[in-house]
Amino acid sequence: MSTIDVTTSEFEAEVLNSDKPVIVDFWAEWCGPCRMVGPVLEAISDEHADSVKVVKVNVDDNQEIAAKYGITSIPAVYLFNDGKVQKQSIGAKPKAALEKEFADYLGSE
């Protein structure tokens, strides 16, 4: 399963009401490091498809959500579970580092 784009109007259904934990990648076109994080999350999404869902939120097009979660730096990768932010990771990080930070939610794979 690959990452999907989520907009403000879909956020509640796709993220907050998801029955699985959701990793949200807040990104924008003009953010250099964000381009590097995309493929990393794509890989995490493929490898941990059973445990988590990975979605992307373009902060340019969805400023309300970014503001709601107080995001002032991207790339920002948040993990939501039961409608709440459980983990936050700021900046471009290698796959292994992200997997470690989110280990509680990624299952045993």
Candidate residues 19, 72, 84, 108; the one interacting with other proteins per rule CB under 8 A: 72
Q: For residues 30 and 53, what is the distance between their CA atoms, to the nearest angstrom?
A: 25
Among 24, 57, 92, 106, binds other proteins (CB under 8 A): 92
Provide the token pair at 51: 């445990």
CB 3 within 8 A of CB 54: yes
- State which of residues 52, 57, 65, 66 lies at the interface with other proteins (CB under 8 A): 66
Length of the chain: 109
Of residues 3-62, those binding other proteins (CB under 8 A)? 28, 30-34, 36-37, 40, 59-60
Residue ranges with strand state E in the chain: 4-5, 22-27, 53-58, 76-81, 84-90
Residue closer to other proteins (CB basis): 54 or 76: 76
List, by residue number, the catalytic residues: 31, 34
Q: What is the DSSP letter of 106?
A: S
Question: What is the total count of residues that contact other proteins (CB under 8 A)?
Answer: 27
Among 64, 73, 85, 100, binds other proteins (CB under 8 A): 73
Distance of CA 49 to the CA centre of its chain: 13
Q: Which residues bind other proteins (CB under 8 A)?
A: 28, 30-34, 36-37, 40, 59-60, 66, 70-76, 88, 90-96
